[in-house]
A and B are shown apart, each in its own frame.
Chain A
Amino acid sequence: MTAEAGSLTKAAPAPSGGTAARARRSLGARLAERVSGGLVQVFLIVVGLFWLVPTIGLLLSSLRTPQDMAAGGWWQVLTEPSRLTFQSYEELLKNGDITSSLLNTALITVPATVLVVVIGALAGYAFAWMDFPGRDWWFLAVVGLLVVPVQVALIPIAELFGKIGLFGSIVGVILFHVGFGLPFAVFLLRNFFAEIPRELLEAARLDGAGELRLFLRVVMPLGGPAIASLGIFQFLWVWNDMLVALIFSDSGSQPITVALQTQVRQFGNNIDILAPGAFISMVVPLAVFFAFQRQFVSGVMAGAVK
């Protein structure tokens, strides 16, 4: 269920033997090719617009006053760009609930990502390069947990956290994300670490390195690409989560997704909070997407099974 997919920018290999084949084709066939090529371009442009317009709609809506929003659709600004304003953003950033929930999002996401990477790497290394009884069976058990839906754990963990006082706290939300991030982390890193050439590890070993040194100085640096993919996947997973936080956080510890979903109940009257709020919550994931395209794609591809 996992695939090391190429990035978006990987070009398809050029058709081989193209010139010879093409020379044999008639003028009519080449003309038909041109026309169908044009149709393909038109089709893809229309589809591309279909995909862009919803997001553009949100962006432009967030840049209008509530009065303008009540008066008509966001596309009106296309003819009146002077009516765009940052007013809603300014109001939003004065809203204490929103700013503190943005902070909570960061306070949940960063530790949940770091912990999954570190704990997953420790276990992944142990599964890849250490000897202990039943090693492969333990690993397969972890792999089996990959597809367990988070829904299964909501009620039991809510009761558990209630008993030990973690319910409603940021720590509880982080722990839950770490628990459900680990199967994928262990799976991905163990497989990557297992490909490290044995000679490298032996050379380090002959230099007198112990397990911890080997792990920190050899395995972790060599695991860079897999760790980057995992880190980006987990970061986005937690940043974008609403369900887990909806249950395990309270009004003081809620991230931006939960703060915004309470507003959705009165959709229409508060578009001046929802539109800019949603856009602010999207800025970080989109930045990660554009900055780390390759790692992003391989991370999402490998982890989509979650």
Chain B
Amino acid sequence: MASATAAGSSGPAAPQAPKSRRSVTGTRKAVAALFLLPALVLLGALVVYPIGYSLIRSFYDQSGDSFAGFDNYRALFTDDGIRTALKNNVIWVVFAPTVATALGLIFAVLTERVRWGTAFKLVVFMPMAISMLAAGIIFRLVYDQDPDKGVANAVWVGVHDTFAESSAFPKAHPGRESPLEPAGGGAFITKEPVSAGQTVVLPLVGVAPDLMPDGAEKAAAARPEDGKITGTTWQDFTRGKGVGQLNGVDAAELGYAGMKIEAVKDGEVVASTKASGDGTFSLPAAADGALLRLPADNFAEPYNGLSWLGPSLVTPAIIGSYVWMWAGFAMVLIAAGLAGVPRELLEAARVDGANEWQVFRRVTVPLLAPVLAVVVVTLMINVLKVFDLVFIIAPGSSQDDANVLALELYRKGFASDQPGIASAIAVFLLLLVIPVMWFNVRRLRREVRR
């Protein structure tokens, strides 16, 4: 079949354009058509036809029977679900590409300065290989609310507790016949004032044995000291009659290591201290005649981290997972651009006394501007269509808050049977990428016509 085309061959012609790609075999049009047919048929049926169909469908009502004018497009801006999706898409398009590109730029510049830059690039680029579904599952695990399971909250709570000390005794409270009484706001205070040389007992109950602080030792009775107030605060574990002594330190009981104690006179704190491992403490003479208070922050509930996938943080959290996937893409493109930057320029700037920041800001970034623009625009197009990550990471309870256009299209078109509105969303998405389409075609037209 192919050999039949040889007949019309007229040798290497096309003198008018030396670089012409005129056929070397003088192909008959029928053969060209055969080569093109499969691609054009599939493109026509699967890409071009749907564009036309969606366009028309978007002007008909949900059943498809009657013309609805711009009603479906009006819904884009009036339907609450779509408006949330639009708002989130704007957040996505503004933040995800810029953050990913900024990180990619930083990584690309810095990896040039270490010997193991290639290994670093491999690690950061690797998420590009996996599916958004897998990335979604990975980040569902990361963002788990329970700090004992989700690594994000584990780290966050760890950092938080380093700076703001957490309380050790969230459920402790006075037992029967206690010398303490509630002082409001969760604090406890002695009923009687204390005096120097006296020993005080501050027993509480209610801390589960496995939740006692690691430093807790067997409680010890305090020894009286002249000019000081000494005492013990401990878990007075008195189970029924005969086992241990109420408001007395028994052998098996543990001290409240680290419990804060304040001496209060007329509403003002005159002295304060912390109990040691065995629960003993001592206060200076200044506390003479004061009431001893166990302030409320001893008993506050432990900090439980952020609700990453709750309504307010869910979109930033998912954008975080997107940046995790795509910063590597930005990094590799920018690194390729950076390899083309003449080293002499950077070196010249350094010799002229510019510091590294100035070199980066005034030389590297301006030279990379075209690459950065390509990366940002590519990511913007990509972000417009984000679906899988939101679909997988946002739990059912906050999926409405995390909604994006592509997800809303899926819901309207396939879950709630509103193909008219779904088609309007599709056309809207298409309109948003048309500038890029136009740019691509225009740039290529010059190349094609060489």
Contact = CB atoms under 8 A, between A and B. Distances in A.
Interface residues of A, number: 127
B445 interface: yes
B129 A151 contact: no
Contacts of B33: 132
A301 B333 contact: yes
Contacts of B436: 1, 147, 305
A194 B440 CA distance: 18
Interface residues of B, number: 122
A267 B399 CA distance: 14
A274 to B, nearest CB: 5
A142 B36 CA distance: 11
A213 B24 CA distance: 13
A52 B43 contact: no
B310 to A, nearest CB: 15
Given A15-B343, A16-B344, A264-B136, A132 B32 contact: yes
B377 interface: yes
Contacts of A212: 1-2
A6 B441 CA distance: 24
Given A8-B125, A261-B133, A182 B42 contact: yes
B335 A6 contact: yes
A242 B336 contact: no
A1 B382 CA distance: 12
Contacts of B387: 151, 243
Contact of B39 (A40, A48, A119, A157): A119
Contact of B377 (A1, A53, A140, A274): A1
Contacts of B36: 122-123, 126-127, 138
B347 interface: yes
A80 interface: no
Interface stretch (A87-95, A96-104, A278-286): A278-286
A226 to B, nearest CB: 16
A6 B125 CA distance: 13
A37 B129 CA distance: 30
Interface in A179-208: 179-180, 182-183, 186, 194, 198, 201-202, 205, 208
B6 A54 contact: no
B137 A278 contact: yes
A201 B140 CA distance: 54
A80 B40 CA distance: 59
Contacts of A114: none
A6 B336 contact: yes
Between A186, A240, A296, the greatest number of chain B beta carbons within 10 A of the residue's beta carbon is seen for A240
Contacts of B127: 51, 55
B219 to A, nearest CB: 29
B300 interface: no
B191 interface: no
Nearest to A52: B123
Contacts of A222: none
Chain B interface, DSSP helix/strand/loop, else mixed: helix
A12 interface: yes
Given A21-B347, A51-B123, A58-B138, A179 B45 contact: yes
B441 A143 contact: yes
A274 B139 CA distance: 12
A229 interface: no
Interface in B272-306: none
Interface string A127-171: 111111100101110111111111111111111100000000000
Contacts of A257: 131, 133
Contacts of A73: 148-151, 154
Contact of A282 (B134, B141, B440): B134
Given A40-B113, A119-B38, A151-B385, A240 B131 contact: yes
Given A3-B371, A205-B25, A236-B129, 5 more contacts: A73-B150, A74-B141, A123-B36, A175-B42, A239-B131
15 contacts: A12-B338, A44-B110, A54-B324, A133-B29, A147-B440, A148-B430, A151-B429, A154-B414, A156-B57, A186-B39, A210-B3, A215-B35, A242-B132, A243-B387, A278-B137
Task: Kindly list the 7 A-B residue pairs having the minimum CB-CB distance in the complex, ordered from nearest.
Answer: A179-B46, A210-B2, A240-B131, A212-B2, A123-B39, A153-B50, A156-B50
Interface of A: 1, 3, 5-6, 8-18, 21, 24, 36-37, 40-41, 43-44, 47-48, 51-55, 57-58, 61, 69, 72-75, 119-120, 122-123, 125-133, 136, 138-140, 142-160, 175-176, 178-180, 182-183, 186, 194, 198, 201-202, 205, 208-215, 236, 239-243, 246-247, 257, 260-261, 264-265, 267, 271, 274-275, 278-279, 281-282, 285-286, 288-289, 293, 296-297, 300-301, 304-305
